[in-house]
């Protein structure tokens, strides 16, 4: 048990990340009261069955009332409406944060809608699996992982410090970053890989049935690793791509150029070029293992 950091925490959306965070907050005793708001009755019931929250509301007002920490943990496309709806009920001095995978759009959609005196500290834990829903969460999800916070200039220092304390209590290392920079880095490390995985799995689903069955059968040869990524939540990922358009299109252009160069090397039998690239890419794997992020 750690010192109580918050009197009442409201988690909006009790899915994979929301429920993992609920488990952390509960296990470590970080909040005197912990509630959730979720539009899904199934999710609310499950959250209560799992005993990971004190109450699960279908009323947003009820959930955020008197909360000193409100965590947006729904797909980012829903933030603008949610924020507008809860704004009148937010307590003065409350902190609003989020766990979304894009940050510029969140700063744009959430910040201006919040009432005066409410502190906004956008966040993004670099953690997750391909599973969804309250039952898929676990308290250890954030351990040893990074959490990026992108406080706009002029953010209240005390509010920022409390968010840092929350994520450190979850076992994460915290990095402070400018929102636009976050979106460019994540476009490379996360959004492009997911887009590519969705594409390649999509290409396979368009094959004739007999060939598709063979693809499943022999998927251990590489394909299955992409299917894991391409099993991530569809609405969440739709919103990510729609809300980080410029950075994703930019890195996708680079990828297109590099793939075309490789395609040309294969067509013309340029073995040296292939081997050179394949040797260079090994080094980055080594760096990731050394950084303990493998």
Residues 109-128 that bind a copy of itself (CB under 8 A): 126-128
Distance from C-alpha of 215 to C-alpha of 150, rounded to nearest angstrom = 42
Candidates 18-26, 28-36, 112-120, 218-226: pick the segment binding a copy of itself (CB under 8 A): 218-226
Collapsing DSSP to helix, strand or coil, 222 comes out as coil
Candidates 19-27, 45-53, 154-162, 254-262: pick the segment binding a copy of itself (CB under 8 A): 254-262
133 exposed, middle or buried (CB, 10 Å; 0-12, 13-18, 19+)? Answer: middle
Candidates 30-38, 43-51, 65-73, 226-234: pick the segment binding a copy of itself (CB under 8 A): 226-234
| 208 belongs to the binding site for a copy of itself (CB under 8 A) | no
Structure tokens at 232: 């991530």
211-214 contacts, C-beta under 8 A, 24 or more apart: none
**Positions in 31-70 near a copy of itself (CB under 8 A):** none
| Contacts of 176 by beta carbon, 8 Å cutoff, 6+ apart | 148, 149, 150, 151, 160
**Positions in 131-150 near a copy of itself (CB under 8 A):** 145-146, 148
User: Which phi-psi region, left, alpha or beta, contains residue 38 (left: φ > 0; alpha: ψ -120 to 50)?
Assistant: beta
| 192 belongs to the binding site for a copy of itself (CB under 8 A) | yes
| 194 belongs to the binding site for a copy of itself (CB under 8 A) | yes
Given candidates 65, 165, 180, 245, which one binds a copy of itself under the rule CB under 8 A?
Answer: 245
Candidates 56-64, 111-119, 159-167, 265-273: pick the segment binding a copy of itself (CB under 8 A): 265-273
| Contacts of 85 by beta carbon, 8 Å cutoff, 6+ apart | 60
Distance from C-alpha of 286 to C-alpha of 294, rounded to nearest angstrom = 9
- Least gap, CB of 133 to a copy of itself (angstroms): 13
| 254 belongs to the binding site for a copy of itself (CB under 8 A) | yes
| 80 belongs to the binding site for a copy of itself (CB under 8 A) | no
Nearer to a copy of itself, 52 or 201 (CB): 201
Structure tokens at 248: 């994703």
């Amino acid at each position: 048990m750690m010192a109580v950091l918050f009197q009442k925490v409201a988690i909006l959306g009790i899915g994979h990340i929301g429920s993992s965070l609920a488990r952390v907050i509960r296990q470590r005793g970080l909040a005197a009261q912990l509630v959730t708001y979720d539009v899904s009755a199934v999710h609310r019931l499950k959250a209560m069955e799992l005993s990971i929250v004190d109450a699960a509301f279908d009323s947003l007002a009820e959930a955020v009332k008197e909360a000193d920490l409100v965590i947006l943990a729904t797909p980012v496309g829903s933030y603008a409406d949610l924020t507008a709806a809860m704004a009148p009920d937010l307590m003065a001095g409350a902190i609003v944060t989020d766990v979304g995978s894009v940050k510029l759009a969140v700063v744009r959609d959430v910040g201006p809608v919040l009432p005066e005196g409410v502190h906004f500290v956008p966040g993004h834990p670099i953690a997750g699996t391909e599973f969804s829903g309250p039952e898929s969460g676990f308290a250890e999800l954030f351990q040893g992982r990074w959490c990026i916070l992108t406080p706009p200039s002029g953010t209240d220092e005390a509010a920022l410090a409390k968010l840092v304390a929350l994520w450190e209590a979850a076992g994460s290392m915290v990095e402070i970053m400018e929102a636009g920079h976050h979106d460019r880095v994540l476009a490379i490390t996360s959004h492009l890989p997911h887009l590519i995985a969705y594409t390649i799995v999509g290409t396979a689903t368009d094959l004739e049935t007999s060939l598709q069955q063979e693809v499943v059968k022999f998927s251990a040869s590489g394909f299955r690793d992409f299917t894991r990524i391409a099993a991530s939540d569809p609405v969440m990922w739709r919103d990510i791509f729609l809300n980080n358009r410029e950075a994703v299109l930019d890195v996708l252009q680079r990828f297109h150029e590099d793939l075309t160069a490789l395609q040309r090397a294969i067509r013309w039998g340029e073995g040296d070029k292939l081997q050179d690239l394949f040797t260079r890419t090994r080094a980055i794997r080594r760096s990731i293992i050394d950084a303990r992020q493998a």
